[in-house]
Amino acid sequence: MPEVILENISKSYQDGKVKAVKNVSFSVEKGELFGLIGPDGAGKTSLFRVLTTLLTPDSGIATVFGCDVVKDYKSIRQHVGYMPGKFSLYQDLTVEENLNFFATVFGTTIQENYDLIKDIYVQLEPFKNRRAGKLSGGMKQKLALCCALIHRPKILFLDEPTTGVDTVSRKEFWEMLQRLKKQEITILVSTPYMDEATLCERIALIQEGEIMSINTPQGIIEEYPKKLFSIKSSNMIQLLDDLRKYDSIDSCNAFGEYHHISFKSENTELAKSELTTYLKRDRDYKDLVINDINPTIEDCFINLMN
Amino acid sequence: MTAEKVISTDRLTKKFGDFVAADEISFDVYKGEIFGFLGANGAGKTTAIRMLCGLSTPSYGEATIAGFDIYKETEKIKKNIGYMSQKFSLYEDLTVLENIKFFGGIYGLSDKELKSKSNQLIETLGMSVEAKKLVGSLPLGWKQKLAFSVAIIHDPKIVFLDEPTGGVDPVTRRQFWDLIYKASSQGITIFVTTHYMDEAEYCHRISMMVDGKIKALDTPTNLKDQYHANSMDDVFYELARGAKRKAD
Amino acid sequence: MKQFFTFVRKEFYHVFRDPKTLLLLFGMPIAQIILFGFALTNEVKNSKIVIADYAKDVASERIIEKIEATKSFEIEQILLSTKEIEETFKKGKVKLAIVFPATFNSDLSHQNKTQVQIIADASDPNTATTLTNYAQSIIMSYQREVQAMNRAPLQINTEIRMIYNPELKGATNFVPGVMALVLLLICVLMTSVSIVKEKETGTMEILLVSPMNPLLVIVSKAVPYFLLSILNLTVILVLSITMMEMPMNGNFLLLYFASSLLILAALSLGLLISNSTNTQQEAMLISLMGMVIPTMMLTGFLFPLENMPLPLQVMANIMPSKWYYIIVKSIMIKGLGFVAIWKEMSILLGMTIFLLTMSFKRFKIRLA
């Protein structure tokens, strides 16, 4: 039986005016690292709050390790670890005091589960007498993770743990999650950063309260319906404009150094050579580079949104 | 790109007691340039931006913004810059039109200018249906696009964008950059911070701040060559990894 | 139990690590006492008085007539003996008594001088002084009236007796008021703000998702503020008794018991406020507008309630601080025991129980 099950969950606010979650169903297996990928306002936080028993759904059924989120909320609260999106710990307590406090709240001690947080806590140890408010974003996030893990939960819910954190800290954080997975803890994580999707085992792409696709990252990429190319020249802004005006282009999006394009016609090789000719001859691009590429999760997300 | 400098700093420094938040930073930004201002958390980006906007007086060093001195002419600087951050967008309890009129009014636009500007703005953003709706009821992406348009309503020389696309969906994020390109082509200098490394690629030039100092400054292509990296992500990682100020 | 103590300790850390909170906690009572030390003068209307008329002659009856004619006084009762005066005073409604001796008129006509006694409840010194001045001027006007028909110089001596607070110390009036104010302010404001702060930082979400009983979260939040309030109360008492010469004629235990009731009522109110607000500013604003200002206006220590329009007087009855104020004055100044104030005590107890049940009932085990 899956560790987390959602069946037709809906949640709205302000007497139904704001529909945050619309008829969402999915399940998460035990020990899985599951990612909920979507922009702000997609409904990620609402889903997390339903699963952590903080909100009751308007309709639908959700269970966490077999317990109903409405009826058996007490049993669920015994065994989940939760890191809310806006979680900022007690700024005026030191690192150690924060950890001690949450350990006691969950009826345990730091010593008891030290092996679980050891990897993370050793990095914090030099600052254990520093107040949490004086830590950097990355360090705060590590402390928050320690606090969420201190009672050795069966499931960890991490709501946008990497938002507002720089690339280096984000990388470190995901490495920590990979290590935690080995401890057989089920992890549900949400993020607005599409590039983090590939670090999960399975992902759900969510937009405006609806799940657009659920699969492994590879599976989602394979579902992409078109052949995708990357294109680059020295004048990227002009190129974007020209590509958008070009008839046989189906989609064209800026992706960092390159633009990603797909064609309307099935015969992509022909379309590609036609485009190259057009750009080189008619539009005078001299340093054009076009490559065949595999789509990224972000390509898939954009495709599903349209 | 013309060679007119709109931001020029020379050994600009800000100290808080013993702590040097911004350490002798020197760089120039040119008219119409999209300048990416990157750095790890706590590297001193916010301190630097505050000085450049005339909100905080430097400890020492020189800087001119839009041709005005950073010590003596902060009021003139404020008239010639626009500012937008992820946190502050607009008044949620005012309508789209009311927000435009309010911010235009602050910068001393005449009624006539206001009218034509707001019509033009609403048309460009395709918000004619939403013009009379409260900003709070709009999706985040729309708010950010609107906030950007409002930040440049007074045709500033420079606009400072502090993580303008955080948490925005990928489609809207690209639409947002279209607006940035357009403003840049009109000669507005864009000074932008971001956590999305693909967006760093869209900038003409990038500076990387580490521990209060500017460690690297060049075009994305040159930076990647210099650090033998495949992407800006790798460049950033390479530079920020050595930061000492991790816990601060 | 360990959870509980850890929680309480954490709450103390919050208080002691924030200089602003500390200043508010311990600076405010002192500042209040100094502030309200400058007593205010008040006009008095329709004050209830009693008269013990042993003379029952033309002179005394004429004066009583005059008193009845003014708007300032309302004669509650004509008493038969001075013994009853003490009792009516203790009931608290009557603020002033006038005693005419049996030989009032005969002394005036035979010796050209006579005496009248005015007794005032001076636990509210402003009102007491104003009332005695009024009474005196009425008697003086009678003296001038009689003088006009008489050639010999006449003299009516008024003997003024202030009971409960003979030295007219303002402290007796405002100290109980400050006590009520400080207890309410600290408990309502601090609890609501500190709970809402946890909502803002997201820590409340963690606590709710933890196996800790949500009610325990609240109770352990209230304990430090309860203790701090008791400490604060002691500071105020020590200050006012030693420096302001505030009397303490009653039972300390009874005083602390009554104070605990008010504190509990206030904590429950703070909890109720925190339930329906989401930002610290909101909680602060509601606490100040909803509690502190009404307390200052409607408790009776700044503005006498008896002068207020009827709707305000009715409203004052739902203020726990009004009853607490009466109780404190009765205990400290009049030295009364439980038997004398059981009515006020039961009202306060009722309010406390009501607020406490309300706050427990309304407490959310979820976010919305």
- Report yes or no on C368 lying in a domain: no
**pLDDT of C155:** 80
Would you call B139 an interface residue with chain A, using a CB distance cutoff of 8 Å?
yes
Please state, in angstroms and as integers, the Cα–Cα distance from residue C305 to each residue in C42, C121, C175, C291, following that order: 11, 16, 17, 17
A interface test, pick of B19, B34, B41, B222 with most A CB neighbours within 10 Å: B41
Please state, in angstroms and rounded to a whole number, the distance separating the CA atoms of residues A147 and A98. 8
Residue of A nearest to B169 (CA): A39
- Report yes or no on C240 lying in a domain: yes
Please state, in angstroms and as integers, the Cα–Cα distance from residue A129 to each residue in A92, A100, A133, A135, A150, following that order: 11, 12, 12, 11, 18
Give the nearest partner residue to A255 out of B163, B181, B198, using CB atoms. Answer: B198
Contacts of A254 in chain B (CB under 8 A): 174, 177, 198, 202
Note whether A164 contacts B195, CB cutoff 8 Å. yes
Instruction: Identify whether residues C215 and C197 lie together within a single domain.
Output: yes
- Report yes or no on A303 lying in a domain: no
Check pLDDT > 60 for residue C37: no
Give the nearest partner residue to C14 out of A53, A56, A92, using CB atoms. Answer: A92
What is the DSSP-derived secondary structure letter of residue A131?
A: B
In this structure, of A38-52, B106-120, C142-156, the range with the lowest mean pLDDT score is: C142-156
Instruction: Return the higher-pLDDT residue of A70 and C219.
Output: A70
- Amino acid occupying residue B23: D
Within 10 angstroms of residue B129's Cβ, the number of other Cβ atoms is 8
The length of chain B, given as a count of residues: 248
Instruction: Identify whether residues C125 and C258 lie together within a single domain.
Output: no
Mean pLDDT of B223-237: 90
Residue of A nearest to C213 (CA): A74
**pLDDT of C21:** 83
- What residues does each domain of chain B span? 32-46+80-240
Average pLDDT, rounded, for chain C: 83
C interface test, pick of A101, A149, A150, A157 with most C CB neighbours within 10 Å: A101
Contacts of B248 in chain A (CB under 8 A): 134, 136
Question: To the nearest whole angstrom, how far is the Cα of C200 from the nearest Cα of chain A?
Answer: 8
Mean pLDDT of A249-256: 92
Instruction: Identify whether residues A189 and A268 lie together within a single domain.
Output: no
Average pLDDT, rounded, for chain A: 92
Q: Tell me the residue range of the domain where A249 lies.
A: 228-296
**pLDDT of A94:** 95
Both structure tokens of B211 = 């521990």
Q: Tell me the residue range of the domain where C145 lies.
A: 47-163
B32-46+80-240 belongs to which CATH class? alpha beta
CB B88, CB B43: distance < 8 Å: no
Would you call B243 an interface residue with chain A, using a CB distance cutoff of 8 Å?
yes
Question: To the nearest whole angstrom, how far is the Cα of A270 from the nearest Cα of chain C?
Answer: 56
Band the pLDDT of B248: cuts 50, 70, 90.
Answer: very low
Instruction: Identify whether residues C18 and C111 lie together within a single domain.
Output: no
Overall domain count for chain C: 2
**pLDDT of C45:** 67
Instruction: Identify whether residues A267 and A215 lie together within a single domain.
Output: no
**pLDDT of C39:** 47
DSSP class per residue in chain B = ----EEEEEEEEEEEETTEEEEEEEEEEEETT-EEEEEE-TTSSHHHHHHHHTTSS--SEEEEEETTEETTT-HHHHHHTEEEEESS----TTSBHHHHHHHHHHHTT--HHHHHHHHHHHHHHHT-TTTTTSBGGGS-HHHHHHHHHHHHTTT--SEEEEESTTTT--HHHHHHHHHHHHHHHHTT-EEEEE-S-HHHHHTSSEEEEEETTEEEEEE-HHHHHHHTT-SSHHHHHHHHHTT-S-S--
Of C163, C193, C214, the residue that ends a domain is: C163
**pLDDT of C64:** 86
**pLDDT of C165:** 62
Instruction: Identify whether residues C323 and C255 lie together within a single domain.
Output: yes
Q: Looking at this predicted complex, what is its ipTM?
A: 0.85
Name the helix (H) or strand (E) containing A259.
strand A258-263
- Report yes or no on C367 lying in a domain: no
Please state, in angstroms and as integers, the Cα–Cα distance from residue A131 to each residue in A124, B247, C122, C160, C237, following that order: 12, 11, 54, 64, 36
Instruction: Identify whether residues A215 and A238 lie together within a single domain.
Output: no
Q: What is the pLDDT of residues C45-72, one digit of tens each?
A: 678 888 888 888 888 888 888 888 887 7
Give the nearest partner residue to B41 out of A136, A301, A302, using CB atoms. Answer: A136
Q: Assign residue A138 the CATH number of its domain.
A: 3.40.50.300
Under 8 Å CB-to-CB from A275, ≥6 apart: which residues? A246, A248, A249, A263, A290
Select the highest-mean-pLDDT range: A82-91, C234-243, C262-271: C262-271
Please state, in angstroms and rounded to a whole number, the distance separating the CA atoms of residues A213 and A35. 12
Contacts of A237 in chain B (CB under 8 A): 181, 185
Report yes or no on chains C and A touching (3+ CB pairs under 8 A).
yes
What is the DSSP-derived secondary structure letter of residue C243?
A: T
Q: What is the pLDDT of residues C276-307, one digit of tens each?
A: 888 889 998 998 888 878 888 888 777 777 77
Under 8 Å CB-to-CB from A162, ≥6 apart: which residues? A141, A169, A170, A173, A174, A191, A193, A196
- Report yes or no on A304 lying in a domain: no
**pLDDT of B88:** 63
Residue of B nearest to A258 (CA): B201
Mean pLDDT of A35-52: 94
Contacts of A166 in chain B (CB under 8 A): 39-41, 195, 236, 240
Overall domain count for chain A: 2
Q: Assign residue C69 the CATH number of its domain.
A: 3.40.1710.10
Give the nearest partner residue to C367 out of A49, A80, A147, using CB atoms. Answer: A49
- Report yes or no on C186 lying in a domain: yes
Check pLDDT > 70 for residue C36: no
Band the pLDDT of C44: cuts 50, 70, 90.
Answer: low
Both structure tokens of B189 = 């200098």
CB A1, CB A63: distance < 8 Å: no
Check pLDDT > 70 for residue B245: no
Instruction: Identify whether residues A160 and A25 lie together within a single domain.
Output: yes
Give the nearest partner residue to B174 out of A126, A194, A254, using CB atoms. Answer: A254
Of C75, C28, C70, which is closest to residue C49 (Cα–Cα)? Answer: C75
Check pLDDT > 90 for residue C119: no
Please state, in angstroms and rounded to a whole number, the distance separating the CA atoms of residues A192 and B172. 13
- Report yes or no on A306 lying in a domain: no
- Report yes or no on C20 lying in a domain: yes
Band the pLDDT of C40: cuts 50, 70, 90.
Answer: very low
Residue of A nearest to B240 (CA): A168
Instruction: Return the higher-pLDDT residue of C12 and B41.
Output: C12
- Amino acid occupying residue B185: S
Both structure tokens of C84 = 């009853």
Check pLDDT > 90 for residue B246: no
In this structure, of A74-83, A91-100, B36-45, the range with the lowest mean pLDDT score is: B36-45
In this structure, of A109-123, B107-121, C235-249, the range with the lowest mean pLDDT score is: C235-249
Q: Assign residue A275 the CATH number of its domain.
A: 3.30.70
Instruction: Identify whether residues A80 and A187 lie together within a single domain.
Output: yes
Mean pLDDT of C166-179: 71
Please state, in angstroms and as integers, the Cα–Cα distance from residue C290 to each residue in B206, C260, C284, following that order: 54, 21, 10
Contacts of A97 in chain C (CB under 8 A): 10, 13
Would you call A167 an interface residue with chain B, using a CB distance cutoff of 8 Å?
yes
Residue of A nearest to C6 (CA): A101
Note whether A106 contacts C212, CB cutoff 8 Å. yes
Mean pLDDT of C267-276: 88
Note whether A41 contacts B139, CB cutoff 8 Å. yes
Instruction: Identify whether residues A139 and A204 lie together within a single domain.
Output: yes
Instruction: Report the DSSP beta bridge partners of residue A259.
Output: A231, A254
Note whether C367 contacts A54, CB cutoff 8 Å. yes
Report yes or no on chains C and B touching (3+ CB pairs under 8 A).
no
Check pLDDT > 50 for residue C13: yes
Q: What is the pLDDT of residues A254-263, one digit of tens each?
A: 998 899 999 9
Contacts of A256 in chain B (CB under 8 A): 197-202, 231-232
Instruction: Identify whether residues C35 and C68 lie together within a single domain.
Output: no
Neighbours of chain A (3+ CB pairs under 8 A): B, C
Would you call B169 an interface residue with chain A, using a CB distance cutoff of 8 Å?
yes
Please state, in angstroms and rounded to a whole number, the distance separating the CA atoms of residues C333 and A244. 88
Mean pLDDT of C119-147: 82
- Report yes or no on A232 lying in a domain: yes
Would you call A136 an interface residue with chain B, using a CB distance cutoff of 8 Å?
yes
Check pLDDT > 90 for residue C85: no
Q: What is the pLDDT of residues C195-235, one digit of tens each?
A: 898 888 888 888 888 888 878 888 888 888 899 899 989 98
Would you put residue C300 in left (φ > 0), alpha (ψ -120 to 50) or beta?
A: left
Instruction: Identify whether residues A100 and A233 lie together within a single domain.
Output: no
Contacts of C8 in chain A (CB under 8 A): none
Check pLDDT > 70 for residue A97: yes
Q: Which residues of A touch C (CB under 8 A)?
A: 13, 49, 52-56, 73-74, 77-78, 80, 82, 84-93, 97, 100-102, 104-107, 147-148
Of B197, B187, B194, B247, which is closest to residue B223 (Cα–Cα)? Answer: B197
Band the pLDDT of C167: cuts 50, 70, 90.
Answer: low
Note whether C209 contacts A86, CB cutoff 8 Å. no
Mean pLDDT of B200-213: 92
In this structure, of A239-243, C106-110, C299-303, the range with the lowest mean pLDDT score is: C299-303
Instruction: Identify whether residues A53 and A194 lie together within a single domain.
Output: yes
The A residues from 37 to 56 touching B (CB cutoff 8 Å) are 38-42
**pLDDT of A60:** 96
**pLDDT of B1:** 46
- Burial category of B231 from C-beta neighbours within 10 Å (exposed 0-12, middle 13-18, buried 19 and up): middle
CB B13, CB B64: distance < 8 Å: no
Instruction: Identify whether residues C18 and C55 lie together within a single domain.
Output: no
Instruction: Identify whether residues C122 and C191 lie together within a single domain.
Output: no
Q: Report the percent of chain A where pLDDT is more than 70.
A: 100
